[in-house]
Amino acid sequence: MLRRLRYRAGMHSGRLVGRGGATLASLARELGVSRTTVSNAYNRPDQLSPALRERVMKAAERLGYAGPDPVARSLRTRKAGAIGLLLTEQVSYAFRDPAAVAFLEGLTLECDRAGIGLLLVPASPDSDDVRSVTRAAVDGFVAYSMPEDDPFLAAMLARPVPTVISDQPATDAADLVGIDDRAAMRNMADHLISLGHKRIGVICMRLGRDQHNGVVDERRQEGAGYHVQRNRLAGLRDGFEAAGVAWDRIPVVERFDHSIAAGASAAGQVLELDPGITALVATSDVLAMGAIGELRRRHKRVPQDISVTGFDGVKAALDAGVTTVSQPVTAKGREAGRLLLDPAVRHRARQVMLPTTFVAGTSTAPHHG
């Protein structure tokens, strides 16, 4: 009885009157109609006489009822109306990385088309608290370029919703959209070899979740949790070994951060390991741009003294004339979206490989040794 009284009180103070506290039920009660009717007034105006609908809307306005609660509706309909995006880094990083921005543009293009929201899921790399993933109210997920052993990724894959992975990792628990990194980089290797470069250095992005900065040995290369980087290094190795260059003599330097500054410092470290290189291969454009800046600072001319190559084909690099591999990042985003949202596509291929283009820029030149 006590409980019932409290409940009643709630009805009157918290519910009918309180700010923002009106509900579909309270409105129905107030009007003396059923909840169904109120619900229909919002969701199926045609199922209801205009007069009654008008009465409902008026009362709603008067009572400060803003329409059906989205969460309650989602619970009932089993639809969130949104998909989630998961990244390795903090969400804000995505807006600093030109490739991520392009990917997001493509993805949101499809979200717009489908009228579906995109939820950027916070996932702090220095925490293992995956609740943000577990608790995201979404109908599906896209994971953008994550390491194989990421706990957030695992939490995502455990959710009973469809999932698409961009770039990495490959797993049959989810669809994949990516490129053939190994072949693309092999191409780049052949380009350098055809220019006469045999003594090179390499700088690459992070190979694992551990914060490693520095020289990479073969074991680390092969065990890398990021298969995109692993494949790019493998492609490079393919090319150089085919040309008779011993891979283990080539310095490979890793940076955990992906930034201009990281590229610069990595380039510096490579030069200290082997001052005699004639070409520097970066596994991303951002690193390449950082490297070029550092080389110039050290009075090395690019490409006359040292050739530099990148990867990705981001606008800034193309504008700067960096020799690179251009990958269709925006298309990758679109494809990921389509895989998740387009019913026609949803039941077809689960592995989409997009084509890349080799771009000969002005950052590479023949070496006459």
Partner DNA sequence: TTGTAGGCGTTATCAA
Partner DNA sequence: TTGATAACGCCTACAA
215 forms beta bridges with: 253
**Is 163 a residue that touches DNA (CB under 7 A)?**
no
Binding mask 5-24 for a copy of itself (x = CB under 8 A): --------------xx----
**Is 132 a residue that touches DNA (CB under 7 A)?**
no
**Minimal CA–CA distance to 225: which of 240, 236, 241, 212?**
212
With a CB cutoff of 8 Å and minimum separation 6, the contacts of 23 are: 15, 65, 69
**Is 264 a residue that touches a copy of itself (CB under 8 A)?**
no
Integer CA distances (angstroms), 103 to 98, 183, 285, 299, in order: 9, 21, 15, 36
Q: Taking contact as CB under 7 A, which single stretch among the options 22-30, 142-150, 195-203, 227-235 is the one that binds DNA?
A: 22-30
Q: Of a copy of itself, DNA, none, which one sits near residue 96, judging by CB under 5 to 8 A according to partner kind?
A: a copy of itself
**Is 322 a residue that touches a copy of itself (CB under 8 A)?**
no
Cβ of 51: how many Cβ atoms within 10 Å?
8
Given phi > 0 = left and psi -120 to 50 = alpha, else beta, which region is 269? alpha
With a CB cutoff of 8 Å and minimum separation 6, the contacts of 264 are: 290, 291, 293, 294, 297
Closest CB 107 distance from a copy of itself, rounded Å: 8
Pick between residue 32 and residue 369 the one whose CB is nearest to DNA.
32
Closest CB 60 distance from DNA, rounded Å: 10
* Residues 366, 356: Cα–Cα separation, whole Å: 23
**Is 4 a residue that touches DNA (CB under 7 A)?**
yes
**Taking CB under 7 A as the criterion, which residues in 56-115 touch DNA?**
67-69, 72-73, 75-78
3-state secondary structure of 272: helix
**Is 188 a residue that touches a copy of itself (CB under 8 A)?**
no
Interface residues toward a copy of itself, by CB under 8 A: 19-20, 64, 66-75, 80-82, 84, 90-92, 94-96, 101-102, 104-106, 108-109, 111-112, 114-122, 124, 132, 134-138, 158-160
